[in-house]
């Protein structure tokens, strides 16, 4: 089930909220636990049992780690290692076994049988969430959760279950045990959800259609190829940030406050700045649980460079079992290393608008690498970006771009804080409440009309 579906909007969510607020507070986590299972099992019921097993196992590991953390630290460490091996082992089996098999079959003397292992939706996200619990518990940064229902509610919480943001247990532990919902929080949640829905349905889907339409044309030239790259750059941003906004909004409706996952990343004036703004929950997860434990920047420049390459290799691999994701991760790893150690001072001397163009150039090229899993198609598209397939664009390409130009301009403006600032002014005005409600209803109406009319409605990050 996806947020931008009519079933979710007009059946699942109203029932969940109605029963949730009719329940006594002591039963609300139990109700969420049940409806979370329904949400996750909607598209693949068999994977519910995998998640239940993972949840129960880590709950038991958590009890053991909490019990022995101070009195028997070696035993607690062994339990932590066992939990990490289990979690990463399941992730590796379901997500990377087929990729490993394909890689081994490149050897001339190996002919392994083809594996067909279905990928559980959201396994990368909920695995990292669960690991944050046991690791923080071992570090003494979180307290043991003794209620299996509350722990299961955290793991299965449907707003961020299948596409993030990655919510660490310590950030919501107090909310699981004793949150207090309010009307203001609920209203803010509805508004944020509608913003995210509009990003997804009215912008991301249309940018995806533009990108697909350009790829279907011949002779798109440099202009068409760059327009396609920019369209996908907007699609993946509005798709994922829209989902994150909806997740944060749904969390507020249920009394939860999740941390921000995006901070206008296309305003970045360097690649370092971009990764401080993009998918913040993933960047901080790798920083706190991989980069710093490896030694971070504390063991000399050579070791720091190695640590950065390891982190970015894993970041790319986390996104998918394909060589282009690994290439994409190393692409950013190398660029960030160069930015940090080679031309950092040069960048500081440049005017901000030029630094901004520099960052956007490499961001768009990066998203092209991210998109194409086939290296032949990737090479052809990269060649087209730099004139390898001709400078001129076909008339069909120009007509298509002119038709989408207003939407491209809207997308460019919507990726800046301008809309949020205007909304903030509206909400503080005398008739702010009425205007905000009207805008939310209008957004919901337009999105509903679009969902009824269109069949193109993917969530890009569901496959991760």
pLDDT tens across 311-321, in order?
A: 999 999 999 88
d(C-alpha 246, C-alpha 153), whole Å: 18
Tell me what pLDDT residue 353 has.
Answer: 93
Confidence of residue 102 (pLDDT cuts 50, 70, 90): confident
- Residue 460: the pLDDT is 67
- pLDDT (tens digit per residue) in 320-352: 889 999 999 999 999 999 999 998 888 889 999
Residue with tokens 């009207």: 438
Q: Is the pLDDT of residue 191 over 90?
A: yes
Q: Are 48 and 122 in contact (CB under 8 A)?
A: no
Span 395-408, mean pLDDT? Answer: 90
pLDDT tens, residue by residue, 355-400: 999 999 999 999 999 999 999 999 999 999 998 777 767 888 888 9
Residue predicted with more confidence, 432 or 88? 88
50-59, 126-135, 264-273, 417-426: which has the minimum mean pLDDT? 417-426
Return the pLDDT at 388.
76
pLDDT at 233: 97
What pLDDT score does 402 carry? 92
The residue-averaged pLDDT of 213-233 equals 90
pTM for this prediction: 0.92
- Average pLDDT value for residue range 59-69: 94
Split at pLDDT 50, 70, 90, the class of 101 is confident
Active site residues: 319
222-231, 250-259, 397-406, 428-437: segment of lowest average pLDDT: 428-437
pLDDT at 131 over 80: yes
pLDDT above 70 for 32: yes
More confident residue, 216 or 315: 315
The rounded mean pLDDT for the chain is 90
pLDDT higher than threshold 70 for residue 457: no
How confident is the model at residue 193, as a pLDDT?
94
- Among 15-24, 264-273, 426-435, the range scoring the smallest mean pLDDT is 426-435
Reply yes or no on whether the pLDDT at 461 is more than 70. Answer: no
pLDDT over 70 percentage in the chain: 97
The residue-averaged pLDDT of 218-226 equals: 86
């Amino acid at each position: 089930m996806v947020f931008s579906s009519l079933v979710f909007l007009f059946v699942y969510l109203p029932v969940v909220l109605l029963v949730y607020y009719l329940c006594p507070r002591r039963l609300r986590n139990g109700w969420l636990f049940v409806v979370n299972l329904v949400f996750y099992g909607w598209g693949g019921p068999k994977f519910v049992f995998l998640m239940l097993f993972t949840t129960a196992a880590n709950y038991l590991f958590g009890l053991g780690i909490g019990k022995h953390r101070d009195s028997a630290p070696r035993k607690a460490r062994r339990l932590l290692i066992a939990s990490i091996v289990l979690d990463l082992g399941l992730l590796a089996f379901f997500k990377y076994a087929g990729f490993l098999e394909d890689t081994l079959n490149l050897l001339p003397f190996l002919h392994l049988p083809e594996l067909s292992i279905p990928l559980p939706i959201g396994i990368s996200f909920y695995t990292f969430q669960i690991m944050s619990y046991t690791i923080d518990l071992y570090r003494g940064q979180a307290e043991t959760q003794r209620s299996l229902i509350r722990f299961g509610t955290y793991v299965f919480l449907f707003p961020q279950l299948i596409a993030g943001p990655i919510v660490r247990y310590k950030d919501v532990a107090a909310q699981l045990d004793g949150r207090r919902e309010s009307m203001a929080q609920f209203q803010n949640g509805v508004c944020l959800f509608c913003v995210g829905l509009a990003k997804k349905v009215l912008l991301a889907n249309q940018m995806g259609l533009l990108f697909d339409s350009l790829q279907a044309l011949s002779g798109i030239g440099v202009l068409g190829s760059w327009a396609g790259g920019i369209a996908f750059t907007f699609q993946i941003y509005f798709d994922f940030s829209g989902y994150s906004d909806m997740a944060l909004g749904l969390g507020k409706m249920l009394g939860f406050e999740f941390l921000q996952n995006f901070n206008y990343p296309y305003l970045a004036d360097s690649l370092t700045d971009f990764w401080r703004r993009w998918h913040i929950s993933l960047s901080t997860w790798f920083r706190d649980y991989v980069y710093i434990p490896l030694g971070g920047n504390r063991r000399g420049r050579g070791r720091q460079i190695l640590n950065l390459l390891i982190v970015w290799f894993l970041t790319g691999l986390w996104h998918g079992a394909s060589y282009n994701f690994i290439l994409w991760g190393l692409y950013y790893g190398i660029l960030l290393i160069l930015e940090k150690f080679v031309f950092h001072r040069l960048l500081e001397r440049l005017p901000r608008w030029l630094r901004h163009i520099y960052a956007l150039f490499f961001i768009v090229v990066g998203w092209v690498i991210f998109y194409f899993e086939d290296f032949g198609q990737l090479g052809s598209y990269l060649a087209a970006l730099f004139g390898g397939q001709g400078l001129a664009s076909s008339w069909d390409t120009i007509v298509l771009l002119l038709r989408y130009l207003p939407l491209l301009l809207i997308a460019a403006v919507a990726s800046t804080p301008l809309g949020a600032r205007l909304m903030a002014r509206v909400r503080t005005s005398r008739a702010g409440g009425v205007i905000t409600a009207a805008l939310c209803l209008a957004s919901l109406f337009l999105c509903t009309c679009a969902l009824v009319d269109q069949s193109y409605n993917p969530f890009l990050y569901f496959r991760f």
